[in-house]
Amino acid sequence: MKEFFNELDNRVIQRGLCTACGTCAGVCPAGAIDWVELDGEPQPQLTGTCTNCGICTAVCPGADVDLPALERYVFGRVRPESIPDLGYYREARVAWSTDPAIRKQGASGGLVTALLVYALEQGLIDCALLAGFRRDEPYRTEAWLAAGKEDILAAAQSKYACVPVNTLLTRAVSKGYRRLAVVGLPCQIHGLRKLQVLGEPPLLVKSIVLMVGLFCASQFYYEGTRHMLVEHLGLMAQDEIAAMSYRGGDWPGHLVVELKDGRRLTLDRHRYMYHHLMPAYKRDRCEMCVDWSAELADISVGDYWDPQARPGKAAGTSSCLVRTAAGEAILAGALRGKYIETTALEAPRLAAGVGFELKKHAAAFRLKQRRRFGWPVPDYRRDTDHNPFTRELHLAPETKTGK
């Protein structure tokens, strides 16, 4: 029997709506869903016997994310269409790790890593599901189950290629872990919240104690990374690579590749992001995604682009939106324990980011266009087409006036 997996395959995967969040594989009680790699991209496939429980289809955020219903589940209320669209939050902060090594190792201010280290050391979590690099091919990403500080530190920094983090859910519970933190992109948090609403399998649902969401403008096809390695760094053979990071070196971090012969190659982040080496390979499903700031997470973390900070000169900082009691508790505890420092953040400033524009205006409009042509689209059950929010561009005065 494979009816339910067939439904997932027909409704989501074969229509290009899979976000590769990993939730279906991570919740399947029969362990029947695994991954195949097509064009370098992970895709779920049935490798075992589907028992027809239907959990995978129920939790999948690929085609259907009832944002208002999930918002009501998490916050007990649903925001009107007309408010600034960063979702519900209790507090907005700029934050960074007090440990200079973690701060430097992190993508922004190392906040996520610092929170996880705090939670682990205080016994609030016993493992975290994270994104790392494969040991055998250290330029390809994979989901990591980190139960020790060392692995949490090694998983720091953003991975700009798909990582189906949620795929490790059942594995974590079957190893005996009962307090899981998951760090995920907004679509991964959607899958987790759908799982909570479903309430099945109960032990797994109960075991997820913290959801740290990352702001996400887009995820990228691995092909983008491959092009940068081959064309821009001249690496014809990837097996020369000993280690790689997308945000290595000084803040804001660059594509840094360490070779087995000891050489170190760097591709400037400004060049690969703003000259579109990477954004050209934006995943198609991401073009249709309307959640930028991980609106349903316990705590959401993104880059903080301090207008005063000069690349290469300043240490990074993270921005964060504290959304739930669990998010509030971990931030307050880490602050009390001196794992992090924070300052106030005017949240609407975040909407000046490119990601906000891409998600809240461009993707919303794109969804409308695709619907008009009858193309497959995810249903977020929220009419975001007319989002009235106007972002304030924090440009230097001379840029604003065109002088």
Ligand X SMILES: Cc1cc2nc3c(=O)[nH]c(=O)nc-3n(C[C@H](O)[C@H](O)[C@H](O)COP(=O)(O)OP(=O)(O)OC[C@H]3O[C@@H](n4cnc5c(N)ncnc54)[C@H](O)[C@@H]3O)c2cc1C
Distance CA 19, CA 57 (A): 14
DSSP calls for 308-335: T--TTTS---EEEEE-SHHHHHHHHHHH
Closest to ligand SF4 by CB, 102 or 290: 290
Residue 178 · residue 142 · CB < 8 Å: no
State yes or no: residue 99 binds ligand X (CB under 6 A). Answer: no
State yes or no: residue 216 binds ligand X (CB under 6 A). Answer: yes
Helical segments of 199-242, H only? 202-207, 222-227
DSSP calls for 276-296: STTGGGB-GGGGG---SS-TT
Contact string (CB under 6 A) for ligand X, positions 171-190, x = contact: ------------xxx-----
Which of the listed partners (ligand X, ligand SF4, none) does 142 bind, with a CB threshold of 5 to 8 Å by partner kind? Answer: none
Closest to ligand SF4 by CB, 61 or 106: 61
- Specify the stretch interacting with ligand X by CB under 6 A; choose among 53-61, 74-82, 108-116, 229-237: 108-116
State yes or no: residue 195 binds ligand SF4 (CB under 6 A). Answer: no
DSSP 3-state helix, strand, coil percentages of the chain (rounded to 5)? 40, 20, 40
Q: In the complex, what is the shortest distance from the CB of residue 164 to ligand X, in angstroms, rounded to a whole number? A: 9
- Rounded to 5 degrees, φ, ψ at 277 are -65, -40
Residue 344 · residue 112 · CB < 8 Å: no
Question: Would you give the DSSP letter of residue 256?
Answer: E
Q: In the complex, what is the shortest distance from the CB of residue 86 to ligand X, in angstroms, rounded to a whole number? A: 12
Among 28, 32, 180, 187, binds ligand SF4 (CB under 6 A): 187
Instruction: Work out whether the CA dihedral 103, 104, 109, 114 comes out positive or negative.
Output: negative
Distance CA 57, CA 9 (A): 9
Q: Give how many residues touch ligand SF4 by CB under 6 A.
A: 27
Among 28, 60, 124, 128, binds ligand SF4 (CB under 6 A): 60
Q: In the complex, what is the shortest distance from the CB of residue 28 to ligand X, in angstroms, rounded to a whole number? A: 20
- 97 is written with which tokens? 């790790």
Among 156, 211, 216, 301, binds ligand SF4 (CB under 6 A): 216
Distance CA 307, CA 125 (A): 35
Contact string (CB under 6 A) for ligand X, positions 301-340, x = contact: xxx--------------x----------------------
Closest to ligand SF4 by CB, 24 or 277: 24
- Rounded to 5 degrees, φ, ψ at 397 are -50, -40
Which of the listed partners (ligand SF4, ligand X, none) does 24 bind, with a CB threshold of 5 to 8 Å by partner kind? Answer: ligand SF4
Gap between the terminal Cα atoms of the chain: 68
- 99 is written with which tokens? 């440990």
Which of the listed partners (ligand SF4, ligand X, none) does 187 bind, with a CB threshold of 5 to 8 Å by partner kind? Answer: ligand SF4
Closest to ligand SF4 by CB, 19 or 108: 19
208-214 and 180-184 beta bridge pairing: parallel
Q: In the complex, what is the shortest distance from the CB of residue 124 to ligand SF4, in angstroms, rounded to a whole number? A: 26
State yes or no: residue 212 binds ligand SF4 (CB under 6 A). Answer: no
Instruction: Work out whether the CA dihedral 247, 290, 183, 122 comes out positive or negative.
Output: positive
Among 4, 5, 20, 201, binds ligand SF4 (CB under 6 A): 20
Closest to ligand X by CB, 159 or 194: 159
Q: In the complex, what is the shortest distance from the CB of residue 261 to ligand SF4, in angstroms, rounded to a whole number? A: 34
299-303 and 180-184 beta bridge pairing: unpaired
Beta bridge partners of residue 37, listed in sequence order: 42
**Sites for ligand SF4 among residues 319-348 (CB under 6 A):** none
Which of the listed partners (ligand SF4, ligand X, none) does 109 bind, with a CB threshold of 5 to 8 Å by partner kind? Answer: ligand X
Q: How far is CA 363 from CA 70, 86, 280, in A?
A: 20, 15, 16
Residue 175 · residue 129 · CB < 8 Å: no
Residue numbers at the binding site for ligand X (CB under 6 A)? 106-113, 130-131, 155-160, 163, 165, 183-185, 214-217, 219, 301-303, 318, 353, 355
Binding site residues, ligand SF4, CB under 6 A: 8, 12-13, 18-24, 44, 60-62, 164, 185-187, 191, 216, 218-219, 283, 285-286, 289, 291
